[in-house]
Amino acid sequence: MAAILVVDDEPVVRDVVVRYLRRDGFTTLEASDGEAARALIEAEEPSLVVLDVMLPGADGLELCRWIRSRSDLPVILLTARVEEADRIVGLELGADDYVTKPFSPRELAARVRTVLRRSRPEAPAQGRLQAGEVELDGASRIATRAGRPLTLTPKEFDLLWFLASHPGRVFSRDTLMDRVWGYRAAADTGTVTVHVRRLREKVEADPTHPAHLQTVWGVGYRFDS
């Protein structure tokens, strides 16, 4: 059974989130600050972290950076609606998703299920994809550029594989949210934008003039092989 760590300094928020997650059959862990969360992550190895950005001491973004430096443990950020910059920074640090406050506990539980389902997906295919110096191995989920391993998060690999599997086709942000993230409702497609930007920094020789990950203005993104 997946254990979800809920990190928030507001007891009321933790209580609501925990109750809904337990209704869905998850076991839960709770922490009110970053230090306690780190200890639980190391001791209990949860399956996913629901992490508030605003925490006493080390904030949620710092904790997200620490998590991503050591593992691909899925992270869903909780952010205040006015903190757009925090949301973007969180995604750039490797968070898998974010939910704005005030939020629907039912929606959050649904996001948890989706992120868990897709954070360790089966290999997209047996085989390899090659595009210039970039090579993807679907079985091992290893990506390389000019023979050197690329450090990609699971979602970055999924997005790159999907686009590279359909060279020349243009996909809207909504379609990519559906096909890669699994969200069909009014999800924030800025998530796609951030992930594409991060992929360009890792995959492209010159991220400002990408050879592969192309923006089709007003439509979406295309992968040129």
Q: Are residues 93 and 149 in the same domain?
A: no
Question: Considering its fold, how many domains does the chain have in total?
Answer: 2
Backbone angles phi, psi at 164, to 5 degrees: -70, -25
Q: Are residues 86 and 156 in the same domain?
A: no
The candidate with the shortest Cα–Cα distance to 50, out of 63, 39, 58, is: 63
Residues in the chain: 225
Q: Are residues 148 and 203 in the same domain?
A: yes
Q: Are residues 68 and 92 in the same domain?
A: yes
Q: Are residues 197 and 96 in the same domain?
A: no
Q: Are residues 134 and 147 in contact, defined by beta-carbon separation less than 8 angstroms?
A: no
pLDDT exceeds 50 at position 4: yes
CA dihedral for 67, 125, 113, 179, sign (positive or negative): positive
Residue 185 pLDDT class (50, 70, 90 cuts): very low
pLDDT digits (tens, 9 = 90+) for 190-216: 778 888 999 999 999 899 999 999 999
Q: Are residues 82 and 159 in the same domain?
A: no
CATH number reported for the structural domain that contains residue 98 in this entry: 3.40.50.2300
User: Which one-letter amino acid corresponds to residue 190?
Assistant: G
CA dihedral for 85, 89, 90, 96, sign (positive or negative): positive
Place of tokens 């999800």: 187
pLDDT digits (tens, 9 = 90+) for 20-54: 999 888 999 999 999 999 999 999 989 999 999 88
Pairing of strands 75-80, 3-7: unpaired
Backbone angles phi, psi at 199, to 5 degrees: -65, -40
Pairing of strands 220-223, 170-172: antiparallel
Query: pTM value?
Result: 0.63
In sequence order, the 6+-apart residues with CB closer than 8 A to the CB of 209 are: none
Q: Which of 119, 144, 173 is the last residue of a domain?
A: 119
pLDDT exceeds 90 at position 146: no
pLDDT exceeds 80 at position 184: no
Residue 120 pLDDT class (50, 70, 90 cuts): low
pLDDT digits (tens, 9 = 90+) for 48-86: 999 998 888 888 889 998 998 888 789 999 887 556 666
Task: Give the long-range contacts of residues 21-30, CB within 8 A, separation 24 or more.
Answer: 21/109, 21/112, 23/109, 24/109, 24/112, 24/113, 25/1, 26/1, 26/2, 26/112, 27/1, 27/2, 27/3, 28/3, 28/4, 29/3, 29/4, 29/5, 30/5, 30/6
Q: Are residues 113 and 218 in the same domain?
A: no
CATH number reported for the structural domain that contains residue 187 in this entry: 1.10.10.10
Q: Are residues 113 and 10 in the same domain?
A: yes
Q: Are residues 179 and 97 in the same domain?
A: no
Domain span holding position 137: 128-223
Segment 107-115 shows an average pLDDT of: 87
Q: Are residues 39 and 50 in contact, defined by beta-carbon separation less than 8 angstroms?
A: no
**How buried is 206 (Cβ within 10 angstroms: 0-12 exposed, 13-18 middle, 19+ buried)?**
exposed
pLDDT exceeds 50 at position 165: yes
Q: Are residues 111 and 172 in the same domain?
A: no
